[in-house]
Amino acid sequence: MRSAPTILHLDMDAFYASVEQASKPSLRGKAVIVGGLGPRGVVATASYEARVHGVHSAMPMSQARRLAPNAAYLVPRFTLYRSISDQVMALLRALSPLVEPLSLDEAFVDLEAGGTAWDERSARLVGAKLRADIRAVTGLTGSVGLAASKMLAKIASEQAKPDGLIVIEPGTERAMLEPMPVRTLPGVGPATGDHLRRAGIHTVGEIAEAGEDELVRLLGKAHGHALYAMALARDDRPVVAERETKSVSVEDTYDVDIHDRVRVGLEVQRLADRCVRRLRGAGLSGRTIVLKVRRYDFSTLTRSETLRGPTDDPAVVREAAARLLDSVDTTGGVRLLGVGVSGLADYTQEDLFAQAAGGAGEEAAEAEESEPAPEPRPEVPVERRWSAGHDVRHTEYGHGWVQGSGLGRVTVRFETPGSPPGRVKTFRVDDPALEAADPLPLVEAPPDLPEPMRPPEEPPPRPLEG
């Protein structure tokens, strides 16, 4: 471990819910829950006002509705969340070339590698300025932990929530950790926590007192060694700037099991297209197509097919996914479907249509050319769907967001991030004056991103290593 608290961990506060509150003045200070709104949906994020009622991430949405029946329940807007995340990550990369994102709202930063901090004072200044910059650029708050290791920096940011900053000075780590519950340590979930509790171990200090041999006996060699090291505040993991993406995938869980085989096939095709869009958005291609099917009885089947080279062609992925579906029995119904691509590369091999057809690409292409074009099918009007929380625009009332819809009606609240709480109107779902809209920026004119932060004074010279 290093001798100064120059590893920073940033965790945005209730990120998705905070974005929704910032963009919707009528929801500020109120319970907001973001996630899947169907019977099988789960909570992605809950605002701090909702957490008072016991709502937390990964909770079934049905349970959240029982705990907080009067909260605002919204469908995620991931495009907006990603754009705000990009702004935050740009601020972090101005501090150091070593930034390790863990998710859209969380990252480690090695300040020493960027020359922006070398001791407790300079690290604290950087952390305070970062929090101010995030608020100025996004209008949101984030909590910062600073320590000599990644584990301790993450613990510090958790202790700082919400909207705080904590610095753990080297030499104080053991004393800080000892009274904390065992669940504070990374990798100690409910099962491991219960196992330790049954052995009479409740705090991090008691883990250290139990000794390495006892922990290995209780938890196994790998977990026991790792947990003992963490209890002694030992963590030498470096901040890694790039994490290799191993796969790109999408999946959907359905409110009602799908029994119609044709509908299952259409859903797989739709998921394949979504997966390819995400793949292309990342500038990647892949060789292995993966299909995931969770059936009515919760049994989950995974099938895969490896091509001769990487592809980002939607036709190739659709055909491979369809062939994989042919090998799966969906009798009884399907509750979840997923399509993924692995074996990733940053280039695309030409002429992959043949490999998706099992090597008979030229013949298939010739046959396709000789077939007459299918008769056009009459278009069937589809009722527009309005997702709760998503942006809309009305020709008369301007910008707003969907409060809810059903029975052929949609209710909209007209307000913007910079306006007072707005009025509510109800329309027919097919009202031609109402259309989907892009989200508005949370801050009307965000300031330019700062130049890379430089230390206020030169660090003391390091002794020569002999």
pLDDT in tens, 177-230: 999 999 998 878 888 889 899 999 999 999 999 999 999 998 888 888 989 999
Q: How far apart are CA 241 and CA 109, in angstroms?
A: 9
Tell how many helices (H) and how many strands (E) occur in the chain.
Answer: 15, 17
Q: How far apart are CA 419 and CA 414, in angstroms?
A: 9
Strand 300-311: give its sheet, edge to edge: 247-258, 334-345, 285-295, 300-311
Annotated ligand binding at 11? The verdict is: yes
- Name every residue whose Cβ is closer than 8 Å to that of residue 324 and which is 6 or more positions away in sequence: 289, 290, 291, 303, 304, 305
Higher pLDDT, 1 or 457: 1
Q: How far apart are CA 128 and CA 167, in angstroms?
A: 11
Q: How far apart are CA 442 and CA 22, in angstroms?
A: 6
Q: How far apart are CA 69 and CA 327, in angstroms?
A: 43
Q: Where would I find the H helices in 139-179?
A: 150-160, 173-177
Burial zone of 347 (CB within 10 Å; 0-12 exposed, 13-18 middle, 19+ buried): exposed
Residue 106 catalytic?
Answer: yes
**Domains assigned to the chain:** 175-231 (1.10.150.20), 247-370 (3.30.1490.100)
The pLDDT tens digits of the residues spanning 356-389 come to 444 444 333 333 333 444 455 454 444 578 999 9
The pLDDT tens digits of the residues spanning 21-58 come to 999 999 999 999 999 887 778 899 999 999 999 999 88
- Asked if 128 contacts 165 with a C-beta cutoff of 8 angstroms, the reply is yes
Rounded to the nearest 10 degrees, how much is the dihedral formed by the CA atoms of 339, 344, 346, 349? -80
Annotated ligand binding at 105? The verdict is: yes
How many residues comprise the chain?
466
Burial zone of 201 (CB within 10 Å; 0-12 exposed, 13-18 middle, 19+ buried): buried
Per the residue annotation, which of 106, 112, 319, 415 is the catalytic one?
106
